[in-house]
Amino acid sequence: MSKIADLYIRVSTDEQADKGYSLRDQEDRLRRYCELKEISVRNVYIEDYSAKTFNRPGWKKLITALRKQKNIKNVTLLLFTKWDRFSRNTSQAYQTIDILRSLRSEPQAIEQPLDMSIPESKIMLSHYLTIPEVENERRALNVFYGMRRARKEGRWMGTA
């Protein structure tokens, strides 16, 4: 039986501007991967929301669709390009991975693949999930301190 995948594509406006991510580029890479691996694409979920939580419209649609298909016997794949497209919140990511598995969906980042049948893969998963969260927290602190410094220097920090 052929493999079936749902594709999850996410950017936040900041990331798209700062790092050059694009929805089209992610979708192209995911579709090429599926073509090479002979994986059928079932659904594509696209959104422009932060990955700090899973309270995202596209994500909610994906989970609702998986719950409706819970009686399917075969495990489906949930593919995204990198783990930071999936989440930037480590604790929520682990909980969500458990939910996905209970819904017979296996999350996988095509550019950071993990074989979860190998126990040591959990170490790499924690690495892939934690670094984006730490990056977000560092960026927030830098902004906070920068704004504080600007206020001390007498610069106006509100909107025009």
**Average pLDDT, 10 consecutive residues per value, the chain (160 residues):** 89 62 90 96 93 92 90 85 91 94 94 92 90 74 76 75
Helix (H) or strand (E) holding 15: helix 13-19
pLDDT at 65: 94
Query: What's the pLDDT score for residue 18?
Result: 53
Phi-psi region for residue 38, left (φ > 0), alpha (ψ -120 to 50) or beta? left
The pTM score is: 0.81
CB 50 within 8 A of CB 132: no
Q: Residue ranges of the domains in the chain? A: 3-152
- Alpha helices (H) along 38-120: 57-68, 83-86, 90-102
The answer regarding whether domain 3-152 maps to CATH 3.40.190.10 reads no
Say what the pLDDT of residue 160 is: 64
* pLDDT for res 40: 95
How much is the pLDDT for 17? Answer: 44
